[in-house]
Structure 1
Amino acid sequence: MKTRLACLSNKSDSYTDFTEFLPPAQDRTTRCLKLTKDEVIRWADSFDVLLSHKYGLAAFRAFLKTEFSDENIEFWMACEEYKKIKTPAKLVNIDFRTREVTRQSLEEPTPSSLNEVQSRVHSLMEKDSYPRFLRSKIYQDLLKTQYTHCQRNSV
């Protein structure tokens, strides 16, 4: 019973620290970048707009963790990284279990070898998790607040 209650307290409706996915504040020797309310509002335009924004993706990942379904976004992100590999020999450099499951599509590996399964996972998140994210406390709290993020100046 204790475990069940602990799980319930971690659900998105009771999520209170939505700033955990934002980078930590730095000292005064930093250059500041703002996450504006307009940017947060734009995340509701489409799932792809959310995924293409650094902090939108981070917020969505934090939300999925509260719903115990972050494996979907982790897989989708791994596919995105896979597409960036240019050397054919490295395209098949995946663990044994994954290689066996996807072997047929990787017989002649290309950056698009995982597109079909990635598309299915994307669609699942877009139709299921994304609408819940837009209704979540995480997103609603972000809409109410404007954040400043600072990064160190590159010298």
Structure 2
Amino acid sequence: MADKDETTRLVAIACDHGGFALKEALKSALSGVTWLDLGTDSAASVDYPDFAHKLADAIKDGKAGCGILICGSGIGISIAANRHAHIRCALVHDVTGARLCRQHNDANVLALGGRTTGDVVAKECVEAFLSTAFEGGRHQKRIDKLGSC
């Protein structure tokens, strides 16, 4: 993300079996990113909440500044991630959504669908997510209200 120190530049990435191929494609396509790969390590069936929780813990513990989550549709893994109070996970399908989730919503996790988003679009989404800063201002009061839900 467009932040300062080394920890915030480390990007956690995790997926279930439905997102494994896209996770590997993103890691190869975005070689300039320092990845903290939290699994899964194959296309064998696993449960997406386990990997969403691992990624949320890595952010909470300061091991990474932001994250990318991938499951088949992106829906389940984003729901699991958003169960954590410190996570603002946005499921996106295009570059505009990836940019706006950072600018307006200060998202710290991007979710993608491994079976619904192609490699090229996913790469563009991750690049936009990582290079866009939160605008703050009028958006901050809305982010503050999320803590009271």
Higher relative CO (Cα under 8 Å, sequence separation at least 6) belongs to 1
Per the normalisation by structure 1, the TM-score is 0.28
Query: Larger helix proportion, structure 1 or 2?
Result: 1
The structure number with the bigger radius of gyration is 1
Per the normalisation by structure 2, the TM-score is 0.29
Query: Larger strand proportion, structure 1 or 2?
Result: 2
